[in-house]
């Protein structure tokens, strides 16, 4: 059986280089390659800029974004083994007909930032808005869980996305919620998707233009995507589909699989939260959630792979960053536990260990 890593992390931190958290301590992730893995999503809460992250000797295959350099790749030259592209590459390929750019910005509630309003003020020219909270399962109270295949197909079709499209996803923090959307498309069988290194902050810092659109076609499409999701879950007919899904079950686990793994021990569970939360030494930030960790877990705090970060866990975004990083190191079968600690810690019948 192929190795899998369960990783679902909540949003909340500004990560500029998707490869920087790997290169800070690459041996941590490299040491996992001999094991079958799954990880709980973690939520970093501190702000990040490109100046916060150390430079190292590791060289990204397609992610160099030094100002003044220009990529010379065609869209077909981009490998799906390298899930990151630079702002220079995107600038040179932005007008390619089969490239669609998605603004997948999402922010923690306590940040008091509105992603759709920020999109309207400034976004990469031609970018569509992907609503992380909106394109989600409407049958659960857990935040932004994966929608059904039918719902996802309806929503992205409403955005005008087709299976032939090459997708580049970015967010307003640098690298945060974009990794979640990268993972979502891969779960539904679309591998030609990349994350923009540094996101909108690096795009703007590199001197590239942004556009505003208080009432644009993209806003109408975002509304149409939300309406399509609602119709699917209400059993109503939706418009014609331009995107067909092909679900990849090995990339996502549910709570029953995690429970079974405690007994079977076929996969290594990796918890990306902070050590105090993993140990149960501090209370969870969400009410009604127990402290501690899944029995048999190993704690690899996301903060250890970065500089000066604080990490927590909850609803499943930053674990996707870990999945993205492992993908860059050649481990493309990384899976995410979609319910994460928000689900596990709230259940009365799930086992919880503390140190």
Decide if 333 contacts 250 (C-beta within 8 A): yes
The secondary structure of 289-349 as a DSSP string is ---SB-TT-EE--GGGGSSS--EE--SSSHHHHHHHHHHHTT-TT--EESSHHHHHTT-SS
**Per-residue b/e over 212-235, b at no fewer than 16 CB within 10 Å?**
ebeebebbebbebbbbbbbbbbee
Find tokens 């609602």 and name the residue. Answer: 230
H/E segment holding residue 248: none
What are the backbone angles phi and psi of residue 169, rounded to the nearest 5°?
-110, 135
Q: Which residues pair with 293 in a beta bridge?
A: 353
Among residues 39, 61, 313, 320, the one annotated as catalytic is 313
Q: Please say whether the dihedral angle defined by the alpha carbons of residues 249, 266, 348 and 317, taken in this order, is positive or negative.
A: negative
Sequence-ordered list of residues with C-beta below 8 angstroms from that of 97, at least 6 positions apart, any chain: none
Residue 313 designated active-site = yes
Decide if 323 contacts 40 (C-beta within 8 A): no
Chain centroid, CA 328 distance in Å: 14
* Longest CA pairwise span in the chain (Å): 56
Token couple for 129: 């808005």
Three-state DSSP at 189 gives: coil
Pick the closest to residue 140 from 319, 316, 326 (CA basis): 316
Pick the closest to residue 10 from 139, 132, 141 (CA basis): 132
- The strand pair at 37-40 and 84-85 is best described as unpaired
- The strand pair at 43-44 and 311-312 is best described as antiparallel
Token couple for 343: 């689900």
User: Which residues are part of the catalytic machinery?
Assistant: 313
């Amino acid at each position: 059986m192929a190795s899998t890593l369960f990783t679902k992390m909540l949003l909340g931190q500004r990560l500029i280089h998707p490869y920087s958290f790997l290169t800070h301590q690459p041996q941590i992730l490299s040491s996992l390659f001999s094991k079958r893995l799954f990880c709980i999503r973690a939520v970093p809460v501190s702000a990040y800029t490109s100046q916060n992250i150390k430079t190292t000797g590791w060289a990204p295959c397609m992610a160099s974004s030094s100002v003044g350099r220009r990529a010379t790749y065609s869209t077909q030259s981009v490998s799906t083994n390298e899930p990151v592209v630079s702002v220079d590459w995107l600038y040179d390929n932005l007008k390619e007909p089969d490239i669609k750019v998605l603004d997948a910005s999402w922010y923690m509630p306590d940040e008091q930032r509105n992603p759709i309003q920020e999109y309207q003020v400034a976004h990469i020219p031609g970018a569509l808005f992907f609503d992380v909270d909106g394109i989600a399962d409407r049958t659960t109270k857990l935040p932004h869980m994966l929608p059904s295949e039918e719902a996802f197909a309806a929503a992205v079709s409403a955005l005008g996305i087709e299976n032939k499209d090459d997708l580049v996803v970015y967010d307003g923090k640098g690298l945060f919620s974009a990794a979640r959307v990268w993972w979502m498309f891969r779960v539904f069988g679309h591998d030609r998707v990349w994350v923009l290194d540094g996101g909108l902050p690096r795009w703007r810092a590199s001197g590239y233009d942004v556009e505003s659109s208080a009432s644009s076609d993209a806003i109408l499409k975002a509304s149409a995507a939300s309406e399509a999701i609602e119709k699917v879950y209400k059993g109503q007919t939706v418009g014609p589909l331009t995107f067909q899904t092909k679900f990849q079950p090995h990339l996502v686990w549910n709570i029953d699989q995690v429970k079974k793994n405690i007994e079977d021990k076929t996969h290594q569970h990796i918890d990306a939260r902070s050590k105090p939360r993993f140990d149960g030494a501090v209370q969870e930030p969400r009410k009604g959630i127990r402290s501690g960790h899944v029995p048999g877990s190993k704690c690899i705090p996301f903060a250890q792979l970065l500089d000066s970060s604080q990490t927590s866990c909850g609803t499943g975004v930053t674990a996707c960053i870990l999945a993205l990083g492992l993908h860059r190191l050649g481990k493309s079968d990384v899976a995410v536990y979609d319910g994460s600690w928000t689900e596990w810690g709230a259940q009365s019948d799930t086992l919880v260990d503390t140190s």
